A and B are shown apart, each in its own frame.
Chain A
Amino acid sequence: AQSVTQLDSQVPVFEEAPVELRCNYSSSVSVYLFWYVQYPNQGLQLLLKYLSGSTLVKGINGFEAEFNKSQTSFHLRKPSVHISDTAEYFCAVSLPISSNTGKLIFGQGTTLQVKP
């Protein structure tokens, strides 16, 4: 079975500072990896995904993530955050299409609080 652990429940950071949100996963087989953002009272929006290929993935809003197979990690980074980045961030995994419907298994979420 697959599982996802987000290592920080809350990350406070000042505006224009860099940020890293940490995500580790557990799986005996290869997985697809995703980061989603949820703004207050809204649904989830896909930030980026890793399916295969380059381990550095660039997403929307200046976010990027690096897949590290040996560390089983998929940490999310942004070099300079804005107040508008304040939201809940979810890391998720999925099995490849051939062996799964594509259902997502989510981590517990990390609240990013950007302070002025």
Chain B
Amino acid sequence: SAVISQKPSRDICQRGTSLTIQCQVDSQVTMMFWYRQQPGQSLTLIATANQGSEATYESGFVIDKFPISRPNLTFSTLTVSNMSPEDSSIYLCSVRDFSYEQYFGPGTRLTVT
């Protein structure tokens, strides 16, 4: 099974600033995803991180707000830009391996003040 690490695990940020979250997986995977889990809510897909090309964003999410990079098969970053208190959430990295198993990282708990 894939083991996923995320940095930072949590952060408290001021309104108007940006935070970059890193996701590292210990094996090559086919797909990488970024999800958001708002307080007390379910998970919503932000985007699919494509290796070497622009991410594919879901309805309601835009690249200017959530730029994503994926320079290789095991690493991706998500930036939350120009943050507001509404961005306070848990951000989870997820990967799908070649057997169609999908794994989740421990999440990054973001609080915007």
Contact = CB atoms under 8 A, between A and B. Distances in A.
Contacts of B44: 106
Interface stretch (B63-71, B80-88, B103-111): B103-111
Contacts of A45: 104
A34 B102 contact: yes
B45 A104 contact: yes
A46 B100 contact: no
Interface string A93-112: 01001000111111111000
A53 interface: no
Interface residues of A, number: 23
Nearest to B96: A102
Given A101-B31, A101-B48, A107 B92 contact: no
Contact of B104 (A32, A43, A105): A43
Given A97-B100, A102-B96, A102-B100, A42 B106 contact: yes
Contacts of B96: 101-102
